Structure 1
Amino acid sequence: IAVSCGCCRANNRVFRNNFINNTNQAFADIESIWDDGSLGNYWSDYNGKDENNDGIGDTPYPIPGGNNFDRYPSMHLIDTSFPSVEITYPKGGEKIQNNVTIKWNAYDDMDDLSIKIFYGKGGEWHVIAENEKNDGEYLWNIGEKIYGEGFSIKVSASDANGNTASCISGKFTILPYLSIKILKPENYVYILGREIMPSSMPIVFGDITMEANVKSALEIQKVIFSLSNKNKNYTTTIDHPSSNVSWFFNKFALGDCILSIKAFDSSHFIVKDKKIQLFNL
């Protein structure tokens, strides 16, 4: 490489390169910068020592042609290759909400990779996670305030030498946050609605008030409770409820049942099911 006043300005920056077995490794007759303050270049003809084994030569490498030095010559070949990264989910076109597992494949031929993940819309990016291990997936808790069309994910992979590659997914839709948490019955034995003892699943004797908490980024339009077994199906609808909803159940049911709660907002709906044993005459 040659840096000369005939073609270049001063303060050219040349570092993190490999100069191997060239007749003339470099030439500079104007002042230039040959390292970034911590690492310079690898020179195959460098004869200096590395007494503290930090990978950096103890003496500068002189650049012929003027008063130029690589102050931090590398004792080893410098990784100049970029990682490869591909997003496998979401790829584009999906409708997602609440929690989603972002998946990718990233590879580098020399180093472990550090992963940084963003979400964005209209070219504006926001960090989801950084300094993540390259294990191929990350669970993103989207939150209640992020929703709409035209979102993308960007995954950046960086190696130990700072080489970075990125991949941007296609555009997808984030549905408004909507969640259901069944508060009662939980995994207990109940007698007339009272918790008696823990159990591997809800076991209910007699009447009980089913309870749930529903959250939405939008207004909740309605909640539908249903209870079904082989012979019976019971349903009740609550219009425009608050976040806490309940259903007093005093109907006939024996044995294994499915409690199903369906919540609607103005955009979409979700369903939460729970297996219970119910004995009510």
Structure 2
Amino acid sequence: MAQTQTFGRTCFLLAIFIFIFISVSGTGMASEFRVWPGESIQNAVNEAFPGDTILVESGEFNESIYVNKENLTIESASGNPDDTFIAGETAGSYVFEIVANDVNISGFSITEGRCGIFINSADNCVISGNKISNQEAGIYLFESGNNLLSNNMVYSNLDCGIKMLASSDNIIRDNYFDNTKNVRGNKFNVWNGSTGNYWSDYKGKDENGDGIGDAAYVINPEAGSMDYVPLMKYVQTLPVLPIARFTSDVTEGYTPLSVRFKDLSENATSMLWDFGDGSASSYPNPHHIYSSEGNYVVSLTASNENGSGSASVTIYVLNASELSGPKLPTAQFIYNTTVGHVPLVIKFVDISENADCATWYFGDGKTSCCSEPEHTFCCPGNYTVSLAAKNENGTSSASILITVLPAGDGNVKATDSIGSSDGAENSVNTGSNSDKTDKYNTGNKKGSAEDPGDPEVIANAENSESKSNGKGEGTGSARIIHRDELEAIKNSVISTARSNILTETGLALEKEMLKVQKNVEAFVDNSLPGSVGDSLPEIETRIAPWIPSFLGLAGIVFMISVLKIGKRGRK
């Protein structure tokens, strides 16, 4: 028995929880319906939930609408009653019959029925901005209270403009009444705020010219219903609704597609973007990226205190892979030299594109997977260094030839310069005119042991063949790197090259100094003592063979000075 009671209580609590959840979700997630001419407003009411909004587009509708959903808003999309007309289904029908609380009706021309708006036992409704005419009664309230009727024009109705039966505590202000009989009511209601209503049968005067009658308009003196500030003239004030407008810089493109939107809405105090992919934004000019293929309807909802308006556009996002095929890697690298004496240390830097991994092959049986390896060649010879760059779509490789000279052999020239295993010349783009490239060959000593070339403009070599893994043909290639692309490794490259140049230049200068010193000693010992009694021509004849040596010594001293000045400047 106890278990049965426990089970019953559990089911009861669960039912209460489900009821609360449905109620909260139903009111918290409001939707917007749009009804176009030829469609049914009543169908939209039937499908709506409490809290939803039904926007009726401009046009003519012929139906009677029964509103039984609480907190429902039904309004014309334009906010202008002169372009949205609703006529009763028959002459004896109510155009709008409201039987639920908190219903808002606004912005319509309502005509040709028994009653334009019938509030039947409903409270807290708002009827505003309508034109109601050619009915038996314009507005009829039965057993309803705390409703607001404002800014309506009620005219040309046969029985009365507004009829109130067993209804009290309603507020009726800022309306226009011009009917056979304007009002019938036997309960207390409020007929004015800061201003009252315009009554076509008002007999009072406006002595001070402020637009308000000097005497009250009597509704029902026994119930105390009086319009204390009746209007002498009336101009219907239409609500200022927002107009949603926007632009986008593109409407079609390939993934990832970047789109910038710009809000051009009018009369809006807030806006909400829906990008069609589950993302939203409240920024005026948002930037959105579509990463997946598809068609996305982007809408902007602009709002103010009177209502909202919306505009939309479709963004077409195409699959980039279908256009360009798979992205293949491009192997490319840079280095500081291609020739030198053992032990030769060379710094390499991988700058491949679209590569998931890269492997170095140094030609001496050793490999590396580092992005910036530093490799030492210990034996003389020619070594082909290659870099293989891979991704899921294929492989690309690039290679160069490294010439390693024996120790102390300063006269051997490099057999190749950049990226060619057959000794062919290669041109390096230095960033100047395309017809003014430097040739790395033995004729101008670039790439030789004496001058390994300008390390700032040396780039990676020719492209070797590319391979595919079946997802796309490999077309990756290595390319020449310009001077401005080497700034990131400039210091390490320059310092290494500079040290090699200074070392080799120092050895050459030392040999030349020894030669000059011996020539000078021989001249001093042999020529000068025996020349005291000789004539000037004979002295000139003896000195002449040593003039080139003195000139060579002066040139060497000048070169050393220039090198020292350049070294201090670079420091």
With the length of structure 1 as denominator, give the TM-score of the two structures: 0.46
Structure richer in helix, relative to its length = 2
TM-score (norm 2): 0.26
- Which has the higher relative contact order, 1 or 2, with Cα contacts under 8 A spaced 6 or more apart? 1
Rg comparison, structure with higher value:
2
Structure showing the higher strand proportion among its residues = 1
